[in-house]
Amino acid sequence: MLAKPWSLAPVALALLLVFDRSPAPLRAQTPTAAAGLSRTALDGTAPNGTALDGTALDGTVTSAEEGAMEGVLVSVKRAGSTVTTTVVSDREGRYRVPRGRLEPGTYAVAIRAIGYDLASGATVAVGASGATTANITLRKTADLAAQLTNAEWLASFPGSDEQKATVRGCAHCHTMGLVTRSRHDVEGFIKVVERMAGYPPLAFPLMPQRTPSPRIGAGAVSRERQLEGWRRQAQYLSSLNLGNSQHWSYALKTFPRPTGAATRVIYTEYDLPARTRQPHDVIVDKAGLVWYASFGEQILGKLDPKTLQITEYPVPVLKPAAPKGILGMRFDEDENPWLGLQFQGGIAKFDKKTEKFQAWSLPPHLNGDHVQINQVSPDRHKVDGKVWLQDAGTYTVLRLDVKSGAFEVFEPYAIPRPNVYDVIPDKQNNGYYLPLGAEEVGRIDAKTGAITMFKTPTPGSGPRRGMMDDQERLWFGENRADRIGMFDTRTRQFKEWAPPTPGAWPYDVTADRNGEAWVGGEYNDRIIRLNPTSGQMIEYLLPRQTNVRRVFVDNRTTPVTFWVGNNHGASIVKLEPLDPP
């Protein structure tokens, strides 16, 4: 019998890397009361006499080095709240938070601007009416390394692209800063790398879990070859850290702050009930309820953004001794969430009406310790009663007959195989699979089982994850080529786009109702908005470090609303662009 869901009132989480724990309060009518902010309570008018109807908080961001600063993310969080609101300063350095976004109260203020910190910790009091002005002063940071994204670390590293590719995967579980601040020598790093190889991607520092058995899809790897690979990694990693010096031997490179359209956005971040929550996949139903799956726990969660109520449901455990957690989550035609249960060796459906799960476990001959069911795609299962899934342990594609419970196995490749990472149906429920370790998109005919492959224009592209739009175009991240990919399944033609800032390494792509594509990856904390017709892209910088995985667009709003989980930050981020397509 399944346990009943438990409801959780909003719980405040300490954002240790973002907010000052003991900010200095500001005194009204004292512009120099704090080095970081000056505050003036306004009665509905700005200094120039223009009306501020609808404004709760505004001000100007400046520094001694730049004067008025564009592209500074200003975040405010009310004491005791689980919600952070963020806006971005424009080219005059002005920022503005609308009245409807802030309740009266005292707010902690934080910023994101590479190379800068608040001149001091600060709070600001927002009243019930009128507008409050808080002018923000920044100073040069004393610890630039603490602000670097994973992509900026990788851009800073010396060495070849091949060397960087061998260590890029470290960011699946933690930041590159843990590596670069370490003091291991080669021999020390060999031990670290060997230990890290025993953790699956669902593990992270707050909740480590061990891999029960190696994957078999890539074929057997000899111990000698494994040790050689670890030594090469260790040699490279030990050249990047502080093992022989108090300072890094290379210059730290940074990316520009947002400008123009990238500043016209509002972010809302919702804290989840515990720091161990990893919202790998976040999706929104037609009622506006936000569903999340915890990457390292058997938990399905539901957030109501209007009431801030969070309800969590314990997901069935199929293999008690195996690692826990969920990777892929997609809706079926009735908007019931289906879950890929990873090392639990099966999938589950959650019926929203009854609030009960139905789970399917692979049969024993397919269900070894190496099995890892990451993705499930029930999107078109009413066509023929079948659901696509994949196994990241054997690198195969599977299909479930929902009525009989029988599984079919499709093997597009012989061992050693590339990692088949995702499988996505078209309107006829043909399965299109994305092999991360290859350079093609594959199609499995729903009726005959025939497999056809289509090469991407870029070699070594590494298609990873994506979605099928209403025009039967498959959008996906070319994770190893740093490209955005689209395959028109009707014309069988590809298109590719390079992100404006190198180092995005797209993980996932989704298309909205206007035909624009939204892209995210694990490394640069930026969400790309692509107009495929013009090729124009906007890069929205997220308010804080965000390990981006699944991306989702809510098409009910105008403009559309983008949602993503902060996989290592135990929060969900809503991005509302202010510019229409």
Name residues whose C-beta falls within 8 Å of residue 323's C-beta, 6 or more positions apart in sequence. Answer: 200, 202, 203, 209, 210, 211, 212, 296, 342, 343
Q: What are the structure tokens assigned to 102, written together?
A: 């802030």
Specify the pLDDT at position 37.
Answer: 57
With a cut of 70, list the residues of the chain below it in pLDDT. 1-53
Specify the pLDDT at position 122.
Answer: 87
d(CA 370, CA 120): 51
Closest CA to 576 of 85, 39, 51: 85
Specify the pLDDT at position 36.
Answer: 52
Cβ proximity of 23 and 109 under 8 Å: yes
d(CA 89, CA 81): 24
Per DSSP bridges, beta strands 55-63 and 131-140 are parallel
Q: What are the distances in angstroms from CA 318 to CA 293, 386, 407, 577?
A: 17, 21, 17, 41
Q: What are the structure tokens assigned to 16, written together?
A: 């240790």
Helix (H, G, I), strand (E, B) or coil at 145: helix
pLDDT digits (tens, 9 = 90+) for 467-521: 999 999 999 999 999 999 999 999 999 999 999 999 999 999 999 999 999 999 9
Tell whether omega for the bond before 200 is within 30 degrees of 0, i.e. cis: no
| Phi and psi, residue 226, nearest 5° | -65, -45
Name residues whose C-beta falls within 8 Å of residue 554's C-beta, 6 or more positions apart in sequence. Answer: 284, 288, 560, 561, 562, 563
Closest CA to 419 of 395, 386, 440: 395
DSSP 500-548: SSS---EEEEEE-TTS-EEEEESSS-EEEEE-TTT--EEEEEPSS----
d(CA 520, CA 194): 29
Q: What are the structure tokens assigned to 422, written together?
A: 């995702």
Cα separation of the two ends of the chain: 49
Specify the pLDDT at position 13.
Answer: 27
Closest CA to 265 of 577, 574, 580: 577
Burial of 196 (0-12, 13-18, 19+ CB in 10 A): middle
| Other C-beta atoms lying within 10 Å of the C-beta of residue 535 | 10
Cβ proximity of 156 and 149 under 8 Å: no
Q: Any idea what the Cα angle at residue 340 is, between residues 291 and 416, rounded to 5°? A: 145
d(CA 373, CA 325): 11
Q: What are the distances in angstroms from CA 433 to CA 2, 372, 511, 552?
A: 33, 16, 18, 19
Burial of 141 (0-12, 13-18, 19+ CB in 10 A): middle
- Using CA atoms in the order 236, 239, 244, 248, what is the torsion angle rounded to 10 degrees? -150
Beta bridge partners of 432: 424, 443
Radius of gyration of the chain (CA): 24
Cβ proximity of 506 and 523 under 8 Å: no
Domains detected in the chain? 6-142 (2.60.40.1120), 145-238 (no CATH), 260-577 (2.130.10.10)
Q: What are the structure tokens assigned to 140, written together?
A: 């040069």
Q: What are the structure tokens assigned to 417, written together?
A: 């195989």
Specify the pLDDT at position 525.
Answer: 97
Specify the pLDDT at position 3.
Answer: 36
